[in-house]
Structure 1
């Protein structure tokens, strides 16, 4: 876990010019810092032209492993509001605790989080066990919970900027309407599937599975960097065969090597199921979620 700069160190960086310009300097609107893409997307949609949003995680980067530069800590120091998810990015948690007391919004406080689900360890696998304590952070993959977070974020922005409270609420309501329509698409399509099990490279889709009555079989647990044991690989392969799994899912930011191994073992194909921790050019939350639905439709034998 990378150390976060102390207040004294941050002050020194500011004096030396490393973070001399506040986030959004020269722009109108208040400065908002977000920790990773789904929070950035909401802040930009709800804030519109009334906020300047700086995201701490670069596009295409793995947010779990984020290390903060002195400039990024300076952004946190200068922000009117920092939007993050406690427990997801340790470096951000530390920076918020040291530099943003009273100016931070933990989105996990707006919804009920599901417990982290780790796979059951096979005999002799104890040395590979992952800690299963705490909550699953991937809450944005449930459109209903994501809409609740949007409404709560609008309230946070309104507290910091009462003059634009009404427009923040209106924008959040619009997102809520769009998310309700997305949820209806998922409900209608996934209710028609021949299969209900999804095998994923790591257990990032608990919320999506819980929302739509699916069963997720994660090759590894919450941590995408974890290496599955031979026993775990054998167990997942056996389960995939038993359930008639045709597709093993891997993620855009994680190597497909493990998914390929299982797929070859059981005669399945591989496909992307995006945990939406980042977005590429021309993509946003809704385009990625609909691409995920299309992938699930094919993999599970759903009526298109």
Structure 2
């Protein structure tokens, strides 16, 4: 029986899966705050020198986790909006002229880093000397994605060429790294609006307690499961796996819409049978057909493991937020890891 490590190494040598996650190179992780926004950088956060006083901040965020983290820190003291609409895959989204104007009218812009490959060029085009920019993942120990070939094929037949760097952007799916992102956002808000610094600090502390409790739930639950490997359609859970001693076995790479070749699909099916995989995870914003195909071939079932790049309609209807979806993910993982 091939080991999981051997299989992952084999993916790196033979697959057409991993064409990147629209990830920029390591030297292009986002705009230079000092060059683009006339701000001074402190601990990875761009901070304006002017005092906003009692001005209610306008904050623009890129996609859902950045919005939820920011909203929990800002509370009612800021108007927080999100650029990327629900149901849209963040890896492929590009801003319109209207979106760029929204940024020009904002006080703060919060983005994750890496996943938003358009940020650097967009900030250059924003006509604002006071816009403050927060790259929430800056300074983190980022993982390299699983080695990939030079290009992969999308479901529509188009090809996606790999970037010079293959860094994994999905840090928000690790509750511990999510806390670091919240702290970066808190620091910016306190300096941008010092009159309400105590409130931001209090809000952040309360939310960090919830994230710490989430981390404990993951740690306690996963420590007792029968198996430590899980199969996903999209390689979005590397940080979560690393944090809790799991091994992610991806069918596709960092780019969620790249499909395996027929030969690689046969290889994956064979490996899944050997490992007695009983659940194949897919996500809401992309077609589940590959996961369902593998599941059918090996007599397994498919289930959702959300990368929380946007809230599904069902999750919104149930009033879930980032923590609620992460708790839902934990239940799904617990069931699969105990099969």
Q: TM-score range by the shorter chain?
A: 0.7 to 0.9
Q: Which residue of 1 aligns with 2:106?
A: 79
SS in 2 for 1:117: coil
Q: Is there any run of 5+ residues in structure 2 with no aligned partner, and where?
A: 1-21, 23-54, 154-159
Aligned residues: 273
How far, CA to CA, are the matches of 1:130 and 1:234 in structure 2?
A: 24
Are 1:68 and 2:95 matched, yes or no?
Answer: yes
Contact 2:151 2:162 in 1 (8 A): no
The whole-number CA distance in structure 2 between the counterparts of 1:252 and 1:85 is 20
Equivalent-residue separation in structure 1 for 2:58 and 2:286 (angstroms): 32
Aligned-pair CA distance for 1:111: 2.4
The superposition leaves residues 140-159 of structure 1 with CA deviations (integer Å, 9 ceiling, x where unpaired) of 01101101111111001111
TM-score, normalisation: structure 1: 0.84
- Separation in structure 1 between the aligned mates of residue 229 and residue 102 of structure 2, nearest angstrom: 42
Aligned with 2:80 (options 49, 53, 61): 53
Tell me, what secondary structure is at the counterpart of 2:248? strand
Bigger RCO (CA 8 Å, 6+ sep):
2
- Do structure 1's residue 224 and structure 2's residue 253 form an aligned pair? no
CA shift, 1:170, in A, is: 1.4
The answer on 1:264 being equivalent to 2:296 is yes
Equivalent of 1:247, from 279, 286, 293?
279
Give, in angstroms, the shift of residue 29 of structure 1: 1.4
Distance 1:286 1:126, change over 3 A: closer
Q: Could you list the per-position Cα deviations for residues 74-117 of structure 1 after superposition, in whole angstroms to 9, with x for gaps in the alignment?
A: 11111111011332122333212332676211112142222222
TM-score between both structures, scaled by the size of structure 2: 0.76
Cα offset, 1:263, TM superposition: 0.5
Superimposed CA distance per residue, residues 267-301 of structure 1 (whole angstroms, 9 cap, x where no aligned partner): 11000000011114112001100110110111110
The structure that is helix-richer by fraction is: 1
Task: Report if aligned partners of 2:236, 2:254 keep a CA contact under 8 Å in 1.
Answer: yes
The alignment yields a C-alpha RMSD, in angstroms, of 2.2
Quote how far apart the aligned CAs of 1:233 are. 1.3
* Cα deviations by residue, 1:14-45 (Å, 9 ceiling, x for unpaired): xxxxxxxxxxxxxx711000000000001111
Determine whether 1:97 maps to 2:124: yes
